[in-house]
Amino acid sequence: MLTIESLTHLGMGRASDGRSLLPRVLPGEEVDVAQDGTLRIVTPSVDRVAAPCRHFKSCGGCAMQHANDAFVAAWKQDIVAKAVHARGLDTDFRDIATSPPTSRRRAKLSGRRTKKGAMVGFHTRASDTLVAVPDCQLLTPALIASFPALEALTVLACSRKGEIDLTVTEANTGPDVLVATDKELTPQLRVELAALANQFGLSRLVWNDEPVVMINPPAQDFGGTGVVPPPGAFLQATKHGEATLLSAVQEITVKAACVVDLFAGCGTFTLPLAKYAEVHAVEGEAAMLNALDRGWREGHQLRRVTTETRDLFRRPLEADELRHFDAAVIDPPRAGAEAQIATLAASEINTIAMVSCNPVTFARDAQTLVDAGFAMPWVQVVDQFRWSPHVEIVAAFTRK
Ligand SMILES: C[S@@+](CC[C@H](N)C(=O)[O-])C[C@H]1O[C@@H](n2cnc3c(N)ncnc32)[C@H](O)[C@@H]1O
């Protein structure tokens, strides 16, 4: 018998033998591991619940449905708190904001052919077996409703033995679908794909890098401005998560007349902020900025927005370039923004809203700012990756 002593940041249970890392267990639980690896919970934790989704046992899409919401919230907050405290930083943690079930508006699914037609779903944990998830509790109803279209697409796009990736994003005009396949796109196939997109009401269908059908532009709404992102472009995982991050970013930058939005993507923050401030959006992907710029030009009553394609790892905005701005928003990828944070620290900017999906790089970058004289009055954890080990963070940095 083993006792679970704690959870790793990926949600694996550290067992009392000092070596075993066990999935889907909780601290304090006593478990038996049979010779064949089967896990039996002997003494369950008070935080253990029946998984809300009937697919949880077989599907590898979620990791934490065996724990109640309060446990998951405290565990995620603690991951961020530990990373911050490990850097010797102190701050107030606002209440965590957790996105509701069935709110994930974008998913990467897999598809393969079956005897009867096709199957679309997620892989089981650490294996290549595919599970169909028609009652998934994570995805929005619109994404679930797109499964028949994705299955029909798999029949056309997948070879008999292979597997394809299907990235589907909810849009008001219908599912926006990107398929990654090694099957060749023939003229005949194009005709069939166009018919399929029409039949199932897809807004756009992209084959590897090639747009095949665009029936209605799949616009996303950023604070009332429509933007048609490039296929597969980054989008905050849930509308709730996006709104929570945006409201924090707006609160932090409220007094700024001129804002620089670093790692701006397609304008999730830029365009809503442009209702009150001039914004300079900087981002590495030109296609995302083109989409942002088009949205701004077609938007109503927005202040001036300028865009700049720039690799912010190699060529961060320097302190003298940052002089024009009253506040910065920074939302880097998992690697964080070491170089850009260093120049922000050395600049005259006094207000920074930092958004991050990685507690470790967040804490590193936060420390650089604090060492340069910034205070970090509060941090908020946003759980838009419900039932997974991922976290999102937004924090305020100010200096007098
Ligand atoms: C976490 S996303 C945030 C996007 C946007 N703020 C949003 O909320 O939708 C990070 C963004 O950083 C961009 N990016 C990644 N590496 C970059 C780099 N080296 N230089 C500039 N932008 C980069 C990505 O293309 C992506 O749009």
CA of 236 to the centre of ligand 1 (A): 11
Closest atom of ligand 1 to CA, residue 314? 19
CA of 376 to the centre of ligand 1 (A): 23
pLDDT at 370: 98
Beta bridge partners of 112: 119
Q: Model confidence over 84-114: pLDDT tens digits?
A: 999 999 999 999 999 999 999 999 999 999 9
Determine the average pLDDT of the residues in 11-37.
Answer: 92
Which of 221, 263, 315, 391 to mutate for ligand 1's pocket (most ligand atoms within 8 Å of CB)? Answer: 263
Distance of CA 317 to the CA centre of its chain: 25
10 Å CB burial of residue 372 (0-12, 13-18, 19+) is middle
pLDDT at 20: 87
Determine the average pLDDT of the residues in 70-89.
Answer: 97
pLDDT score of 400 more than 80: no
Q: Model confidence over 328-351: pLDDT tens digits?
A: 999 999 999 999 999 999 999 999
Q: In this predicted model, which residue has the larger pLDDT, 116 or 392?
A: 392
Q: In b/e form, how buried is each residue of 336-367, taking b as 16+ CB within 10 angstroms? A: bbeebbbbbbebebebbbbbbbbbbbbbbbbb
Q: How far is Cα 301 from Cα 305, in angstroms, rounded to an integer?
A: 12
Q: Strand, helix or coil at 196?
A: helix
Q: How far is Cα 356 from Cα 390, in angstroms, rounded to an integer?
A: 11
Query: Is 158 labeled as catalytic in the residue annotation?
Result: no
Q: Report whether 11 contacts 63 (CB < 8 A).
A: yes
Across all residues in the chain, what is the average pLDDT?
96
Which of 271, 283, 311, 385 to mutate for ligand 1's pocket (most ligand atoms within 8 Å of CB)? Answer: 283
Q: Residue 222: how many CB atoms within 10 A of its CB? A: 26
**Which of 121-125, 137-141, 290-294 is predicted least confidently?**
121-125
Q: Which residues contact 35 (CB under 8 A, 6 or more apart)?
A: none
Q: Model confidence over 58-68: pLDDT tens digits?
A: 998 899 999 99
Which residue has the CA at smallest separation from atom 22 of ligand 1?
A: 284
Sign of the alpha-carbon dihedral angle for 74, 360, 383, 390: negative
pLDDT at 252: 98
pLDDT score of 160 more than 90: no
The set of protein residues with a Cβ atom below 6 angstroms from ligand 1 is 234, 236, 263-265, 268-269, 283-285, 288, 311-313, 331-333
pTM (predicted TM-score)? 0.95
Determine the average pLDDT of the residues in 6-27.
Answer: 93
Which residue has the CA at smallest separation from atom 8 of ligand 1?
A: 268
pLDDT at 220: 97
Q: Report whether 7 contacts 78 (CB < 8 A).
A: no
Which residue has the CA at smallest separation from atom 15 of ligand 1?
A: 333
**Which of 15-19, 66-70, 282-286 is predicted least confidently?**
15-19
pLDDT at 126: 73
pLDDT at 269: 98
Determine the average pLDDT of the residues in 34-56.
Answer: 93
Q: Report whether 45 contacts 3 (CB < 8 A).
A: no
Q: What percent of the chain has pLDDT over 90?
A: 93
Q: Model confidence over 366-399: pLDDT tens digits?
A: 999 999 999 999 999 999 999 999 999 999 999 9
Cα end-to-end span (Å), the chain: 56
Q: Model confidence over 126-152: pLDDT tens digits?
A: 778 899 999 999 999 999 999 999 999
Q: Given 62, 136, 158, 357, which residue is catalytic?
A: 357
CA of 345 to the centre of ligand 1 (A): 20
Length of the chain, please?
Answer: 400
CA of 233 to the centre of ligand 1 (A): 10
